[in-house]
Copies of this chain bind each other. A is one copy, B any other.
Amino acid sequence: MMYKRALTKPDGRALWLYSRRPIDPDIVATAPAGGPVEPRSHLRWHPLRGEWVAYATHRQQRTFLPPAEFNPLAPTVDPASPTELPAGDYDVAVFENRFPTFSRDPGPVPDGTGTETAPAKGRAEVVVFTQNANASLGSLPLDQVQLVVEVWKDRFEDLGSQSDVQYVMPFENRGVEVGVTLHHPHGQIYAYPFVPPIPARELEHQQTFFDAHGRGLLQAIVAQERQDGRRIVVDTDDVVAFMPPFARYAYEVWIAPAAPLPSLAELDSGGCRALAVVLKTVLTVFDAMWDRQPFPYVMVFHQAPTDGRRHPEAHLHIEFYPAYRMPGRLKYLAGSELGAGTFTADTLPEEKAAELRAVRERLA
């Protein structure tokens, strides 16, 4: 059972509280001092790459690694110094980013941009995984991880139903190595007014495969990987975590339901639980490596667009891009990756999957 309350912050932004228990109706939404931030963001078309670039100049004012006593994601302790979240009994919270790249009312597009423009409509939300500032997603109890999955699903459905949203991407940036400015366990959701270039390209290839074979590309890969076994990290009946044979990062793990569910919307309660089990296992393995707590990564969801069409070619999955390629050695994206789009790796997915499996077995 998931309880949910929708509130509105004093500055007009939306806040949702989620819990396994009924939520006190007296909880009132808070917002940090400073008043409303007027979003100022627009899109410019990059005609050579064929993609939109988002400019959000109001983000220059955003919070940068504040001291712990100003953690804006912790529940408010002193009503005179409100944070983003109220005090009270709830488990997970979602609110509209105070410094959104994409928003409902992104403001006017400036003149003289020299290229095609559009308002940066859409949404940018923050998902706070727990009230505990010192936890991490993988360290939470399984039921709480499951609740986070249910929250992602809930937000996916709501955001996906907005007419100005074509693609919803929950993600988590974790660690200073990937630029995190707030250490409280949290993720984000970007709701784009277009299908962004990476999922667009992937869906195009998935569509071609689906048309040729009558089943999904990722479904075929999962079947093959289960048969092969070498790149599997965790496999339950319902969900599999593996390193794809074509991993670009040293510890790139993908988590996918075995069934070709296009999006979070198709996960029932059991599906959310099954995904949470494997997600928690993978995160626990990551955090047990090298005594590095937490293991830094970018985690992204890939799934069906919310463009009003059916997407049987899509297959919900999570991709992890860990920051390190070995202890103390970051993977830098440089000339070949940024300039050519060709990743270079010096390790093989087979070796790294075996390493991750060994950590999992040690923990079992």
Binding site for B on A (CB under 8 A): 44-60, 62, 64, 101, 110, 112-115, 167, 169, 171-173, 178-179, 188, 190, 192, 196-199, 201-202, 204-206, 209, 217-218, 221, 224-225, 228, 230-231, 244-248, 298-302, 319, 321, 329-330, 332-336, 338-348, 350
Contact = CB atoms under 8 A, between A and B. Distances in A.
B47 A338 contact: no
A341 B321 CA distance: 14
Nearest to A50: B205
Given A55-B345, A347-B57, A114 B339 contact: no
Given A114-B225, A298-B339, A334-B298, A217 B47 contact: yes
Contact of A178 (B190, B247, B334): B334
Contact of A340 (B46, B114, B190, B209): B190
27 contacts: A44-B245, A50-B205, A51-B341, A53-B342, A55-B347, A55-B348, A56-B346, A59-B344, A59-B346, A60-B346, A114-B224, A114-B230, A114-B231, A169-B335, A169-B336, A171-B334, A173-B332, A173-B334, A178-B334, A192-B342, A198-B339, A199-B341, A201-B341, A298-B338, A300-B335, A302-B339, A321-B338
Nearest to A315: B48
Given A245-B115, A335-B300, A341 B196 contact: yes
Contact of A348 (B57, B201, B298): B57
Contacts of A56: 344-346
A341 B202 CA distance: 11
Given A49-B205, A199-B340, A302-B339, 9 more contacts: A51-B341, A55-B344, A59-B346, A60-B347, A115-B245, A171-B339, A179-B332, A192-B340, A301-B339
A221 B48 CA distance: 10
A246 B335 contact: no
Query: Which of A171, A199, A245, A335 has the largest number of chain B CB atoms within 10 A?
Result: A335
A237 to B, nearest CB: 22
A179 B334 contact: yes
Given A57-B346, A347-B60, A341 B197 contact: yes
Contacts of A192: 340, 342
Given A169-B339, A172-B335, A335-B190, A53 B345 contact: yes
A127 to B, nearest CB: 12
A114 B201 contact: no
Contact of A190 (B204, B224, B329, B336): B336
A220 B56 CA distance: 27
Contacts of A247: 53
A192 B341 CA distance: 12
Nearest to A172: B335
A45 B333 contact: no
Contact of A339 (B50, B52, B300): B300
A344 B101 contact: yes
Given A101-B336, A231-B114, A218 B347 contact: no
